[in-house]
Structure 1
């Protein structure tokens, strides 16, 4: 008689990673419109970009009645320097999600190096997502220098403490799953030992990126350890996702069967064309111009940051086409829809969004250096008169407590470069 495989129970509001093809967490490419488009083309689940715990702590949760999204915001340093902007534009959106279209299929990936701050941040977003995933694989300095990302692979005890704290203090109370994303280590023995420890923390899922920490996306993924990792996870009842050089749903299904993984992540291929999640029998990969129009429409609907939208278009539009060069000169959504020939269908919406985002012809003038200096003096004088508790006074006369002022926009939400300023059309980092 065949025994039933062991499975860690999936919480009431969580999701099972088994038999899923999902969008990988990617800086820039994992923002709200990219996730919604991936879901539209058939992704089973979507990961948001790594968001550092300290960036989320101290944010304010807003329900946006225009976009129907939930926004976690804080005052940005850019907004502080330019009080000519409206209040909304001086607020930085740290994280935006669409509860109706993605909430039950969205996994929030957290960057952390501390159990306490991880729990504090995760509690803020837990009611709005289907799971919390710890990033233990990002090799970039902005993550590893803070003891986060791939640096956690060198401190497995700390990583296990973080996961256990999240399971006990966030996962169980909110009835969602906690998972982790790692990279393979130098030897199968080291990887097996790490995965065994992680599976004993109460997590429901583990993703293995089939590259070591020093490896970059241009280097081929190494799958020699994948079956072993999948076997260890299966024995513990934890779902195992694979990541690395997966380019389509059909390929993902074949690799899952070959290596015994429960599911697969698609990263850079989905950045270039999100329709890779659609199986061949439903049409497969769509033409780039069809995908671009869908992306622009979705970006307008959720009022995505223009810099981010422009960057993604730079990945989707073939670089040798004349329209690509024209797109790189765009300063607003209105410019984009005109360039791509969608002015009739999307022109009015683009103008409305430009006005609310205060870009293009609606951009507000910035204060001169002299005006900022005068504003600083006026604010300092006002603070002295009101005898407030010690606070930091910015150049714009906006007062913030020192601990809040230390935390401006983190690397994962820093202002995006336009495609024209990117030396290569190389994919962004897949965490």
Structure 2
């Protein structure tokens, strides 16, 4: 069986599996690891449109793109159509394939400003933001949304139609409301409803952690692409597994402890290369916790990792890793 491709705007992806944007996770080092495992598209961490406007120094590092990770999707968040569209124009010459607008982030400080999933409550503003951005740049503009804001405002279908009408090239739908955050089950039926309502590509997101689940989501929803976010934490191999399962129904063996350890250390070296010793190692702490979930002694290891301050200390900490429980 061949691998299903995905075309968004004028860009054809090698496959339909996408690394979803996660703040503090989908940075350049992690994206490179996921690309090696076959991810068809990599979404960057969300970037504040105002951060670009005011030349925030932390924003510049978030905008870094490596030639080997392309194609990537650069995601902006904000609530002002003028600022978002103008900042999209300002950075358009950078090496990203798509400009994505975040309308799904559930974090209180983002929602409080009417940004992220707060925009799901403002259909008119959704249109204005997407329309202004599509007019401002030549690259395809995509949008990530949720099922709705809460159970009283399940409006993904309405919002997706508005996005299409405003010129959006694709929409990614997370099957949970903002109020759910990441709890409970993702509602795949809302993804199906969106797919039936619009003609632009629809990317399904929520609760896919295996090839079987990916195929099940595709069958149930008819979605054009599948976005993997939390399922990739500590698990860049998920992309090669999804591709293997789609190709011939095979389930590759999970990486052994030696492979996981080598990947963690390589991940740490990349973190240090791009972020320096201090930040690089500290940011690795959460990744190590994810990589070692379910391993023998992982609780003790996490406690030790939280005190690690250098690559050598990390290496020493990981010496004792053995079998999975």
TM bucket, shorter chain? 0.7 to 0.9
Using structure 1 for the length normalisation, give the TM-score.
0.63
User: What is the aligned-residue RMSD (CA, Å)?
Assistant: 2.7
Q: Does 1:25 align with 2:16?
A: no
1:284 Cα deviation from its structure 2 partner:
5.3
Distance 1:231 1:294, change over 3 A: farther
Structure-2 change in CA distance of 1:300 and 1:213 (3 Å): same
Match of 2:132 in 1: 165
Structure 1: gaps spanning 5 or more residues: 1-6, 60-72, 77-91, 343-431
- From 66, 91, 97, the equivalent of 1:125 is 91
**Shift in Å at residue 316 of structure 1?**
1.6
User: Is residue 194 of structure 1 aligned with residue 159 of structure 2?
Assistant: yes
Write out per-residue CA displacement over residues 162-215 of structure 1, whole angstroms, 9 at most, x where no aligned residue: 111111102x2xxx2100011113479843222212111111110000011210
Q: Which position in structure 1 is the counterpart of 2:263?
A: 291
**1:3 alignment counterpart:** none
| CA-to-aligned-CA distance 1:44-81 (integer Å, 9 cap, x gap) | 1111121111112243xxxxxxxxxxxxx62x7xxxxx
- Between Structure 1 and Structure 2, how many residues are aligned? 296
SS in 2 for 1:25: coil
Number of the residue aligned with 1:10: 9
Q: How does 1:5-404 map to 2 (within 5 A)?
A: 10-11=9-10, 15-16=11-12, 19-59=15-55, 74=57, 93-102=60-69, 104-127=70-93, 128-170=95-137, 172=138, 176-185=139-148, 186=151, 190-233=155-198, 236=199, 238-279=200-241, 280=244, 281=250, 283=252, 285-287=254-256, 288-303=260-275, 305-306=279-280, 307-318=282-293, 320-321=297-298, 322-341=300-319
Distance 1:133 1:124, change over 3 A: same
Q: Matches of 2:306 and 2:190 in 1, distance apart? A: 42
Q: Cα distance 1:331–1:190, how it changes in 2: closer, same or farther (>3 A)?
A: closer
Query: Structure 1 315/125 Cα, relative in aligned 2: closer, same or farther at 3 Å?
Result: farther
Who wins on radius of gyration, i.e. which is larger? Answer: 1
Structure 2: which 5+ residue stretches go unaligned?
Answer: 1-5, 245-249, 321-325
Does the 8 A contact of 1:211 with 1:221 survive in 2?
Answer: yes
Deviation track 1:250-280 (CA, whole Å, cap 9, x = no partner) reads 5323321332000111111201311111124
TM-score (norm 2): 0.82
Cα deviation, residue 249, structure 1: 4.3
